[in-house]
């Protein structure tokens, strides 16, 4: 297992560093997210091939990662083609050294997030499918639907000329200010749960995967950035103040 994980880590870094070299030369971030989601798919299939086992649990897990990567990668690529640039990179794309850090961090994100699946796909032991697998896949399905619907709702909202200068507060966005991120966290939580069916000992440390995703989105690259941008744009709007006051930031739990 250790040798396969090392090969996956090397492949991960290789893809990201080649991506950085091309992106730095072209001074563009247009394929950054596409490279990230594509690496998830690549490593999921490589680990299954190098693990030399094709158990049903592994096949399903790899298929779910592939479905996630294809949908999200395509969506993000189409979005940046339409918008022309990603504001996260406004002070980065012209600085190769800082750009390199971004691409390397993406490699870490891919490997840590995918770790439960990599462990599963290199595990020689197998067990009959059980409640933990079905619960994990159900959570993944809920997360996949939540993220896909939220992304599409916001895409439709922003493409409607009548909504120019407005903020979305309907659909899933009426229950959470970041339902797409909620869906992302649910998906990786579900994949860890199903993969844990055959884990033992230190392998359970791969629970870091959903926690890492939550930490990044909640405290680093997701919610903090978007919340600051939203406050600068609509912070003085009473309607937005009411939305923030009455709509949970992430988890759609009722307020008492």
Domain holding 35, by residue range, is: 1-126
Average pLDDT of the residues in 25-48: 95
Residues 89 and 134 in one domain: no
Task: Tell me how crowded residue 29 is: count the other CB atoms within 10 A of its CB.
Answer: 20
Nearest to 99 by CA among 11, 32, 9: 32
Count of domains forming the chain: 2
Residues 55 and 140 in one domain: no
- Given a contact cutoff of 8 angstroms between Cβ atoms, the answer to whether 184 and 211 are in contact is no
Residues 56 and 86 in one domain: yes
Residues 180 and 117 in one domain: no
Residues 15 and 25 in one domain: yes
Residues 3 and 35 in one domain: yes
Residues 19 and 64 in one domain: yes
Residues 26 and 137 in one domain: no
Last residue of a domain, which of 126, 143, 164?
126
Contacts of 153 (CB under 8 A, 6+ apart): 168, 170, 171, 172, 173
Average pLDDT along the chain: 94
Residues 34 and 84 in one domain: yes
Last residue of a domain, which of 72, 95, 126?
126
Residues 117 and 137 in one domain: no
Contacts of 187 (CB under 8 A, 6+ apart): 64, 68, 139, 140, 143, 144, 147
Last residue of a domain, which of 87, 108, 126?
126
Average pLDDT of the residues in 133-149: 98
- Given a contact cutoff of 8 angstroms between Cβ atoms, the answer to whether 67 and 44 are in contact is no
Which pLDDT tens digit goes with each residue over 78-125?
A: 999 988 887 788 878 888 999 999 999 999 999 999 999 999 999 998
Average pLDDT of the residues in 30-59: 95
pLDDT band at residue 255 under the 50/70/90 scheme: low
- Given a contact cutoff of 8 angstroms between Cβ atoms, the answer to whether 63 and 137 are in contact is no
pLDDT of 15 > 90? The answer is yes
CA dist 205 to 61, 109, 136, Å?
Answer: 18, 16, 17
Residues 183 and 229 in one domain: yes
Residues 59 and 70 in one domain: yes
pTM assigned to the model = 0.93
Average pLDDT of the residues in 13-42: 95
């Amino acid at each position: 297992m250790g040798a396969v994980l090392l090969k996956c880590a090397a492949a991960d870094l290789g893809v990201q560093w080649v991506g950085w070299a091309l992106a730095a030369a072209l001074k563009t971030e247009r394929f950054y997210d596409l490279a990230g989601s594509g690496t998830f798919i690549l490593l999921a299939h490589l680990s299954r091939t190098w693990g030399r086992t094709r158990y049903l649990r592994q096949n399903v897990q790899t298929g779910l990662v592939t479905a996630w990567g294809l949908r999200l990668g395509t969506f993000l690529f189409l979005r940046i083609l339409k918008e022309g640039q990603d504001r996260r990179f406004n002070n980065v794309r012209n600085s190769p050294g800082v750009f390199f850090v971004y691409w390397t961090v993406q490699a870490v994100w891919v490997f840590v997030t995918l770790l439960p699946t990599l462990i599963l796909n290199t595990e020689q032991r197998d067990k009959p499918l059980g409640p933990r697998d079905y619960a994990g896949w159900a959570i993944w399905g809920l997360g996949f639907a939540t993220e896909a619907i939220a992304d599409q709702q916001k895409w439709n909202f922003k493409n409607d000329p009548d909504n120019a200068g407005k903020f979305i507060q309907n659909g899933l966005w009426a229950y959470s200010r970041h339902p797409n991120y909620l869906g992302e966290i649910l998906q990786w939580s579900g994949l860890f749960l199903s993969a844990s069916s055959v884990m033992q000992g230190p392998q359970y440390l791969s629970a870091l995967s959903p926690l890492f995703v939550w930490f990044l989105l909640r405290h680093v690259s997701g919610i903090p950035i978007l919340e600051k941008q939203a406050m600068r744009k609509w912070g003085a709007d009473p309607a937005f103040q009411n939305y923030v006051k009455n709509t949970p930031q992430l988890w759609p739990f009722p307020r008492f």
